[in-house]
Amino acid sequence: MKKVILFLIDSMMPDVLEACIAEKKAPGMQFLMEHGQYIADCTTVFPTMTASIDCSLITGVYPDQHKVPGLVWYDPEMKQMVNYINGSLPVQKLGIAQCARNVLFDLNERHLNRDVKTIHEIVEEQGLVSGSINVIAHRGHKKHKVHIPPLLDAVTGFRLKGKVSGPTIMSLGTLVRPDLFRTITWNASQSIIEGYGVNDTHAIDVLLEVLRSGKQPDFTLVYMPENDHKLHRTPHEAVSHLADVDKQLVRFLDFFDSWEQMLERNVCILVSDHGQTVIGKSEEYTISLDELLSRFSVLRLGEQVSPDCELVICNNERMSYLYPLQAGVMGKIVDDLSHDQRIDLIAWKEGEQVVVRQGGTGKTLRFWRNGPWTDIHGVTWGVEGELEVLDVRGNGRELQFSTYPDAFSRLYGALFAQTCEVVAVTAAPSYQFLSELAPTHPGGGSHGSLHKQDSLVPLLIAGASRSFPTPARIVDISAFILQELGIETALVPR
Ligand SMILES: [Zn+2]
């Protein structure tokens, strides 16, 4: 049976991939495209931020089931903001110790719902071996020791007691190293600059070492983050950024006697987590939530929630979660945001229903599960109000989405990831949100929203025994991989 390797390339976009191949700058990706199936419009998860998407990729479900709402969110039980590390300034304020614990430990061991299984857990329960290289969501049946670098240890006094769980072959930069016959050499000076080894070169170094060791897992997930970092800064050089990723992919392909031999032995899948939107340069393209919501007492980063605190803002770039902490505050938040045209969508829960309002016009629709309408993925919904808010069209009894792909399931997934009151707000194309110290990218790229520009990603599959079902979604990838590994899909929790 073939092995499966899934490369997760952060912020890879279909138009950029196609341009890169047309300009002959991506021989590796071109080879896979010529020998496989290319889907240009695979729908990802909302919010379009890596953390919640990674969890969906490895569990095959939306956040309402896996329970990780985003990169930054508020935990009402702990009365704490959770931050899986979104930038150096907020992390300094919240404390590197807390954020490091959030991303290294809490995400996998506490936040990711135990009632859903990860692909690593399912694969290893079937007697096969699974692998994860540099992915922050990695829960599995094996325990791995974390090596906290002396610098991080000294600066923060951070001590992570215990171990993190993962599949048998598990690598997380320099922090968790796979147990191979040869240790992977690492230049210490790089560790500070290159995110403790969570970078493309190190990911491929580890993958090659795994191949050389003869211990290639039946399934390996490899995360490559650098394309995202570069696009945030220089979105207009997107083709050259993706060409850099291709160079790393070619290192992997060249490991084999021929690229064809790689495909004889492996199913090779390339996917992205989300797209990016170019943000306007001038100040007006940055929407200050602190200003728009200035009449409320907002929790400051690093402070304890006090009894008079009214609101917590959790900024996910082109999306934010707003948590009202007092009765009656939610309606006022919605009112204050409804008049701003730079705001695209404002969504919240009312009982079992989701209400969505369009920024600027105040037009509103509501939808709920188990109604008379069916979407293209077979999920049934009830809907009433002004359908243009989400650009929904009804055709017979079928619902069709275009500007906001799979809008109902994805909004539902985000809002019902938690039981508390929460408002999800998204920025219009070209706009981003600013709140205390959150990273912004004027003139650069950003993501987070429900809009198709942030939400449609390329999916490239070569060497598989069957076609990937379309229309494709990120949440369908784990079931496809399990089928390729000969694991009954009935085992996949849906
Ligand atoms: Zn990003």
CA of 70 from ligand 1 middle (Å) equals 12
CA of 331 from ligand 1 middle (Å) equals 31
CA of 14 from ligand 1 middle (Å) equals 16
Amino acid letter, residue 22? A
Same-domain check for residues 336 and 197:
no
Residue ranges of alpha helices (H) inside 216-275 are 226-233, 238-253, 259-265
Q: In this predicted structure, which of 4-13, 296-305, 426-435, 447-456 has the lowest mean pLDDT?
A: 296-305
86 within a domain of the structure (yes/no): no
Amino acid letter, residue 63? P
Same-domain check for residues 463 and 392:
no
CA of 49 from ligand 1 middle (Å) equals 7
Same-domain check for residues 243 and 297:
no
Percent of the chain with pLDDT over 90: 78
Amino acid letter, residue 249? L
User: How sure is the predictor about 493, in pLDDT bands with cuts at 50, 70 and 90?
Assistant: very low
CA of 232 from ligand 1 middle (Å) equals 7
Phi, psi of 122 (to 5 degrees): -65, -45
Q: What is the pLDDT of residues 53-80, one digit of tens each?
A: 999 999 999 999 999 999 999 999 999 9
> How far is Cα 87 from Cα 80, in angstroms, rounded to an integer?
18
More confident residue, 304 or 269: 269
User: How sure is the predictor about 115, in pLDDT bands with cuts at 50, 70 and 90?
Assistant: very high
> How far is Cα 7 from Cα 133, in angstroms, rounded to an integer?
10
Last residue of a domain, one of 429, 444, 459: 444
Integer CA distances (angstroms), 265 to 253, 268, 271, 460, in order? 12, 9, 20, 17
- The mean pLDDT of the chain is 90
Helix axes 27-34, 238-253, angle to 10 degrees: 70
The pLDDT of residue 91: 61
The pLDDT of residue 164: 84
Greatest pairwise CA separation for the chain in angstroms:
66
100 within a domain of the structure (yes/no): no
Residue 426 has pLDDT above 90, yes or no: yes
CA angle 444, 136, 423 (to 5 degrees): 65
- Mean predicted confidence (pLDDT) in 169-181: 73
CA of 273 from ligand 1 middle (Å) equals 10
For residue 197, give the CATH number of its domain.
Answer: 3.40.720.10
- Mean predicted confidence (pLDDT) in 402-413: 98
The pLDDT of residue 457: 98
Residue 494 has pLDDT above 70, yes or no: no
Q: What is the pLDDT of residues 322-367, one digit of tens each?
A: 999 999 999 999 999 999 999 999 999 999 999 999 999 999 999 9
CA of 274 from ligand 1 middle (Å) equals 8
Residue 319 has pLDDT above 50, yes or no: yes
CA of 358 from ligand 1 middle (Å) equals 25
The pLDDT of residue 448: 97
Same-domain check for residues 341 and 234:
no
212 within a domain of the structure (yes/no): yes
- In this structure, are residues 454 and 53 in contact, taking their beta carbons and an 8 Å threshold? no
CA of 438 from ligand 1 middle (Å) equals 13
Other C-beta atoms within 10 Å of 393: how many? 12
> How far is Cα 49 from Cα 57, in angstroms, rounded to an integer?
12
More confident residue, 184 or 221: 221
101 within a domain of the structure (yes/no): no
User: How sure is the predictor about 223, in pLDDT bands with cuts at 50, 70 and 90?
Assistant: very high
The pLDDT of residue 188: 38
CA of 106 from ligand 1 middle (Å) equals 21
Same-domain check for residues 469 and 426:
no
Residue 478 has pLDDT above 60, yes or no: yes
Q: What is the pLDDT of residues 370-384, one digit of tens each?
A: 999 999 999 999 999
Integer CA distances (angstroms), 369 to 56, 282, 402, 411, 412, in order? 20, 41, 20, 12, 9
CA of 48 from ligand 1 middle (Å) equals 9
CA of 231 from ligand 1 middle (Å) equals 8
User: How sure is the predictor about 145, in pLDDT bands with cuts at 50, 70 and 90?
Assistant: confident
**Domain enclosing residue 203, as ranges:** 3-68+112-276+451-491
Q: Which residues contact 423 (CB under 8 A, 6 or more apart)?
A: 321, 322, 323, 324, 330, 333, 334, 337, 346, 347, 348
60 within a domain of the structure (yes/no): yes
Residue with tokens 């728009």: 292
User: How sure is the predictor about 396, in pLDDT bands with cuts at 50, 70 and 90?
Assistant: confident
CA of 316 from ligand 1 middle (Å) equals 10
Number of structural domains found in the chain: 2
Same-domain check for residues 171 and 196:
yes
CA of 166 from ligand 1 middle (Å) equals 24
CA of 276 from ligand 1 middle (Å) equals 8
352 within a domain of the structure (yes/no): yes
253 within a domain of the structure (yes/no): yes
